[in-house]
Structures are given as structure tokens and as C-alpha cells.
Amino acid sequence: MTAPSSDLQTARRMLDHGQAAPARDRLLRLLEGDAAAEAWLLLARAEADLGAAEAARTAFARCLALAPSEPVAWMELAIFEAAQGRGGDVVKRARQAALPSVLLTMLRDAAGGTGARALGTGAATKADLATLSRAAETGDTHAAERKARPLLLKGGGAVLWGLLGQARTRAGQPDGAVEAYDQGLRLEPYAVDLRLALVQARLASGAVPAALLDARFAARAAPGLARAQILFGRTALRAGQSDLALEIAEAALARGLRDDGLLALAAEAAMEARQGDLAVERAAARHREAPGRDLLLAATQDRAGRVEAALDTYGAILAREPANRDALTARGQLLQTLGRAGAAEADLRAAVAADPLDGTAFRALAYARRLDPGDEALRAAMAARARPDLPGAAARTLDYGLARALAPHDPEAAARHLAQANAAMLAAYPHDPRQPAAQVARAREVIWPALRTAMASGAESACDAAPIFVTGLPRSGTTLVEAILAAHPEVVAGGELAVLRRAATPLHDAIAGNAPVTSDLLTGTGAAYVAAADRAAGGSTDRRRTDKSIFSFLEIGTIRAALPQARIVVVTRDPRDTGLSIWRNHFREGTHRYAASQEGIADQIAAFHNAIAFWRDALPDAFHTLRYEALLDDPEKEARALLAACDLPWDPAVLSFHEAASPVATLSFAQVRRPIYTSSRGGWRDSAAEIAPLIASLTRKGLLPDE
């Protein structure tokens, strides 16, 4: 019996997404019957991805026995053996098999580990190719189209499509470039040069998931090409997959690829994955003359908690280059988190003076202090924003800063800048409105039922760590609550550690695969969290650590199962005030995508409330709820209840949290250095017209509090 094509398509899709283990399981079941050559080929790919070299060779042999001249099978074999250091054997076998010369050339390149290049030129002459190359280099799409179209109608070739794609890329036409590269890859799917160009075009057009698939293909087809590995890793970072990016970089370095770009990728990925020590190690290993080397080193030192080392590194840069905009901006932002407002302002103003078009320093300055209408930095930012040649990203950043700076003086202009900024952010990083509800549904319908069943059957975690999770929506008061807790002598602030979901991946994967949830698995998850939290926070501690990761509210069931001694605090606030603050604030590019749309903000608020309502029913004693408004009304009463819920003795020092605030790397860096104030309560009323769509959506969802 031949395997159904739909099953083969599913297996191929799994492999394309890096899911080798389930693909292999599916293929082994299919191969129990009379399977086609393609099934054996896919199995060979799966075994290769899983590191089972001999099993992969056996599957390749079965495939080639059924289809001895199949180009795809030979190319996949060459790619596999190149990674094993035996690519030359494949070339010898291919010559003995009397394969076509073009295929032999591609096999030789693939077997060398650096990937095949596009070869087909169709009916084009050398003169035609020279003309097309000149047009591609200059981005002259008219000349490129005029020359390429007649040739492509005669039969074309991958090289011609590639040159046309290059011309369109240079001319700022990413969608047209994607179409051209796609056409070329239909002719030569293993042409790594075209595949890498396609990745860049997809990224330019905002198609990140598709770019990641193509980048994975290119990296697999050219394991010895540093550029392919770097682009794969950077695409993974763009997709928010820092763990994958770090895995890519570390694997390439382990294979002996010594490239400064790989070290930079590893440092940035480790920094995003909260592995600060590794990030510093990789950044320091870069060539001392590499562009941006010391800036990246300082950033990794900051992320690893080596604040003074970071300040020293920034100081060294500025001693060499006093007007270095990037160093001034980064040091100014670091000083803000440390509460050194005067020094931070001096750096940020110097950065604005050095380059007012960048906008990052001005935005940071505007978020930290009120600027007078005649302020020099404000005038410079407004002049920069008025330039017609300003790049889109710079315009967006300046709009966020101007929205904050102009709000006290010209609310209408501030609202316009904010609307422009959020519209541009939404265009650059689209939000899927289905995502918030889907995340809650997964926790409610997949993760928790499996955990509940396992615990009812006796599975329990032996992990005795007792972290304190503080969760809630952004801008709801979670940073304030963490600061209160961290002022207690038995507690240390962890900040947004963002390691829980990663630590729980084996547990969640087991649940998704219907594998048993055992005590060992729960204990291992708790231990993995503790180890990851220690790495992210820069070391272990004898005190209890807070974890203010925003989306922990989705993982309350996992926390209770894997970390039974942990305590969870859920912070709530009037959704109109929360929504207004989210709408008015700038989050790191690509994160909190819902925040650029008032409907998106309402969807996220609804997801939070639905999740908390579910956990309140499922685990009524699992968490302590603290209302932000109640904390403003009676700080001592709420602080006492908070400490009691966290099994901490009363200590009046928590009411003076602002006097001992540790570094704060969130948008609340300034607020937590002030005593509790009430001016932000009900602030939505003065801006009701600005957030009318948000209020309307909250009303439809039944989320407005009783007045």
C-alpha cells in the first residue's frame, strides 16, 4: 500500500518546521506498508535531523534504490553527508551514477557544505547577464524588467529570476522580489543564494514566519556557510524565538565556524534568552575591532547584572568617541533604571544633540521628565520629525516621544503623534486578534486538564523553591507591587525573568504528546525554572525572589503543579486606566503587539480577565488578588495582606519601597522611586475621547467596573 499524499505532506510540513521526532514517528507508521521513495527520503531527513546518522543512511539507500536518478534525493544525501564530513563520497557516487553535469555541479557545492548556487541562465547570453547584473546592482527595475521579460518567456532560468529579484530589492519592492525569488526556486529549489535573498525579501515585507521556514531550509542546505546560519538565527530572533537563535549560533560555533557575526548572534540571543553570563562570554570573544563590539559587550554586561562593568564599558567607548550616539543613549537608559536621573538626562540630551533623527534618546528623555515647550531637545525632535526623508522606524520612535512630551502642552498634537506611532507599529508588527483567546484556551483546555488529572493520580513536585510571582497586565501596578515586596529583607526583586514558559517546555510537550505527567517531570520542571531564574537574575540567592513576568497569569496551573511552595500575586486595575497607559506607552519592538491597537488592547484585557476567572474557579486558593486602587487607598492594609499571602512577616520597610528601589528595567522606572501617589487613578476620564474605541470594546465585553 502506498502512503497517502496527505500523510506525506504532513510529515514534510513537520520537518520544515523543525519537528523531526513526530515526523519520524508518523513516517515509520507509513513505512509499515508499501511506501514510495518520498517516504524513505523524508524519513532520512528526520533521522538526520535527530542525529541518527546510520538510520539516515539506511533510509537514503532505500530511497535511491527506488528512485536512483531522483535529483532531490541526491541533493538531500549531499547535504546530509556534508554535515558528517563525508560530502566527497557522495560526489564520487554521483559521478559513477552518470548523473547530469548540472546536477553534479550542484551536488559538489552542496557536498562542500556551503550550499549550491543558482546555475540556470536559460536563453540569456553573457551580454544579457551583464546588462541584468548592472540593473540589479543599481536597482533599475525598468531596465531589469525590460531585459529579463523576453528571456524569461523563452524559458528563463533561476539566475535571471535572481537578478530580477535583486533589482526589485534594491528598488524597495520586497513583495516583487519575493515573487521573483520564488519563481527562481521553483526551478532550482536548492539554490542557497536565492533562498537567502528570499529570506531577506520576506523579512522586508513583514512575512516573518515564512522567512523563518526559508531560513531553516537554507541553513540546513549550507551547514558550513556562516551567512546562512547567521540569517537563520537572526530570523529566529525577529520571530521572538531567542532559544532557537541561541541553539543555531552555538551549534554553528561548535562545528568550527569561526565568524564574528556568529559570536554577535550568540551574544544577542543569549541576552534575549536571559543567559547573561554566556552573553557576556560570547560578546567578549568578538574581535576587538569588530563594529559595535563594545556596545554589545556593555549591553550583555547590563543584562547579566554587571552594572558597573557595563558603565565602565560605555565610559571607555565615550572616552574614545564623546559624541557616540548609541553609547550615550544606552548609558542614559541604564542610568535611568538605576535612578540616577541627572546623569541619565545629561547623556540623553547629548545623544539628541549628536543625532536628533534617531529618536531613541529623545523618547527615553520624554518618558523620564516633563519637557517645557521651548526645550531644546523638544525643538530638535519636532524639526527632525518634520523632515520628509525621515525613515519609517525613526519617525515612529520620534512620534512616541513627541506624544509624551507634548501631552501637557498640546494634547491634540500629542494624540495625533501617538496615533501615528501606534499605526506604524501595528503595520510593522501586525497583531493576530485570535492569539490572546487562543493562549487562554490552551491553558484551560489542554495544559490544566492534564495537570489536574496527574495530580489527582498522585503526581507531585518535590521542588521546594518558593518564588513569588507577580502578574497582571502591563501598566496595572505590578512593578509597584514588586517594589513593595523587594523592600522586605527576605525578598529580592527578579524583575521580568521570562523563563517559566521555557522551563516548562518539556512538561508542555509531554502533555501535547499525551505522554504521562509524572512526579519526576513536575519536579524537573520546578528545578529547571529555578536554574533558569538564577541564570537570568545573575546568580542564586538565599532570599526569596520575585518574578514579575507579565504572562505568568496564563501559567498559574503550571506554577502550582511544578512549584507548589511558590506564591502568586495577581494585580488588577481599572481596565480603562490600564488600557490608556498601554496605549500611550512604547514597548520594545515586536513585543506586546496588541498594544498598538485599541481593539487589541481590549482583547488582551479580556483574555487576562477570562484567565483569572478560570483559575479562580479551578484553583480558588492558588493566588492573592490585589486591586491597584485599593493599594492607593490604604497602602498599609494592602501591604500587610500582601505579605501575609506570601508567607512573609510584617516589616514597615515595605512602605518605604521608593527609598530602596533596585534597578528597574520597565516603563515604571521613575514611578517606583516615588512614594505611592494617586494622580493616575481615573486618568482615563480626561482622555475618554482619545480612547473611545477602547472603552466601547470594553463595554461590549462587559469588562467595565461598577461605578
Q: Residue 55 sits in which domain range?
A: 1-68
What would the pLDDT profile of 571-608 be if each residue is shown by its tens digit? Answer: 999 999 999 999 999 998 888 999 999 999 999 999 99
Report the alpha-carbon angle 137-236-276, nearest 5.
Answer: 120
SS3 682: coil
Pairwise CA distance, residues 147 & 663, whole Å: 60
Pairwise CA distance, residues 615 & 177, whole Å: 48
**CB 504, CB 442: distance < 8 Å:** no
In a domain, 348, yes or no: yes
Pairwise CA distance, residues 103 & 168, whole Å: 29
Cell of 105: 555541479
Cell of 279: 552573553
CA dihedral 49, 55, 58, 64 (to 10 degrees): -10
One domain, residues 421 and 441: no
In a domain, 380, yes or no: yes
In a domain, 647, yes or no: no
Domain-terminating residue out of 378, 412, 428: 428
Pairwise CA distance, residues 105 & 545, whole Å: 59
Cell of 468: 513569588
For 643, residues 6+ apart whose C-beta sits below 8 A from its C-beta are: 485, 488, 649, 650, 651, 654
**CB 334, CB 314: distance < 8 Å:** yes
CB count within 10 Å of CB 689 equals 9
Query: pLDDT band at 467, cuts 50/70/90?
Result: very high
pTM: 0.79
pLDDT above 50 for 302: yes
Pairwise CA distance, residues 467 & 487, whole Å: 15
What would the pLDDT profile of 104-117 be if each residue is shown by its tens digit? Answer: 999 999 999 999 99
Span 684-699, average pLDDT: 94
In a domain, 646, yes or no: no
In a domain, 640, yes or no: no
pLDDT of residue 674: 55
Query: pLDDT band at 676, cuts 50/70/90?
Result: low
For 411, residues 6+ apart whose C-beta sits below 8 A from its C-beta are: none
One domain, residues 315 and 423: yes
pLDDT of residue 669: 44
For 196, residues 6+ apart whose C-beta sits below 8 A from its C-beta are: 215, 218, 227, 228, 231
Residue 649 CA, chain-centre distance (Å), reads 39
Domain-terminating residue out of 428, 456, 475: 428
Strand order in the sheet with 468-472: 491-492, 544-547, 468-472, 567-572, 624-627
pLDDT above 50 for 685: yes
**CB 599, CB 433: distance < 8 Å:** yes
Half-sphere exposure of residue 206: CA atoms within 13 angstroms, side-chain side = 9
Span 657-666, average pLDDT: 59
One domain, residues 275 and 375: yes
pLDDT above 80 for 647: yes
One domain, residues 160 and 177: yes
Domain-terminating residue out of 428, 448, 479: 428
One domain, residues 102 and 46: no
Q: Which of 532, 505, 507 is nearest to 519 (CA)?
A: 507
One domain, residues 411 and 268: yes
Q: Which of 231, 223, 164 is nearest to 214 (CA)?
A: 231
| H helices present in 97-157, as ranges | 101-111, 126-138, 141-153
| H helices present in 473-539, as ranges | 478-486, 500-503, 505-512, 519-537
For 481, residues 6+ apart whose C-beta sits below 8 A from its C-beta are: 470, 569, 571, 626, 631, 642
Cell of 219: 541553513
DSSP string, 278-291: HHHHHHHTS-TTST
Pairwise CA distance, residues 235 & 220, whole Å: 14
Q: Which of 5-9, 183-187, 330-334, 490-494 has the lowest mean pLDDT?
A: 5-9
One domain, residues 267 and 394: yes
Span 75-92, average pLDDT: 92
One domain, residues 378 and 490: no
**Average pLDDT in the chain:** 92
Cell of 561: 503543579
Q: Which of 174, 182, 183 is nearest to 151 (CA)?
A: 183
One domain, residues 411 and 320: yes
In a domain, 527, yes or no: yes
Which stretch, 473-477, 672-676, 678-682, has highest mean pLDDT? 473-477
Pairwise CA distance, residues 524 & 527, whole Å: 5
pLDDT of residue 286: 96
Query: What's the domain count of the chain?
Result: 5
Pairwise CA distance, residues 596 & 594, whole Å: 6
Query: pLDDT band at 679, cuts 50/70/90?
Result: low
One domain, residues 15 and 109: no
Here the CATH number for the domain that contains residue 140 is 1.25.40.10
One domain, residues 471 and 554: yes
**CB 534, CB 467: distance < 8 Å:** no
DSSP string, 292-320: THHHHHHHHHHHTT-HHHHHHHHHHHHHH
Residue 492 main-chain phi, psi, to 5 deg: -130, 140
For 574, residues 6+ apart whose C-beta sits below 8 A from its C-beta are: 628, 629, 681, 682, 684, 705
Span 138-143, average pLDDT: 94
Q: Which of 519, 387, 391 is nearest to 451 (CA)?
A: 519
In a domain, 515, yes or no: yes
pLDDT of residue 31: 86
Query: pLDDT band at 168, cuts 50/70/90?
Result: very high
Residue 572 main-chain phi, psi, to 5 deg: -120, 160
In a domain, 256, yes or no: no
Residue 31 CA, chain-centre distance (Å), reads 38
Half-sphere exposure of residue 122: CA atoms within 13 angstroms, side-chain side = 22
What would the pLDDT profile of 219-243 be if each residue is shown by its tens digit? Answer: 999 999 999 999 999 999 998 889 9
Scanning the structure block, which residue is given the C-alpha cell 554577535? 264
699-702, long-range: CB < 8 A, 24+ apart: 701/602, 701/605, 701/606
**CB 443, CB 519: distance < 8 Å:** no
Here the CATH number for the domain that contains residue 496 is 3.40.50.300
Q: Which of 165, 173, 164, 170 is nearest to 205 (CA)?
A: 173
pLDDT of residue 675: 58
Residue type at 568?
I
Here the CATH number for the domain that contains residue 14 is 1.25.40
Q: Return the CA Rg of the chain.
A: 28
One domain, residues 411 and 486: no
Pairwise CA distance, residues 541 & 48, whole Å: 42
Cell of 252: 554553528
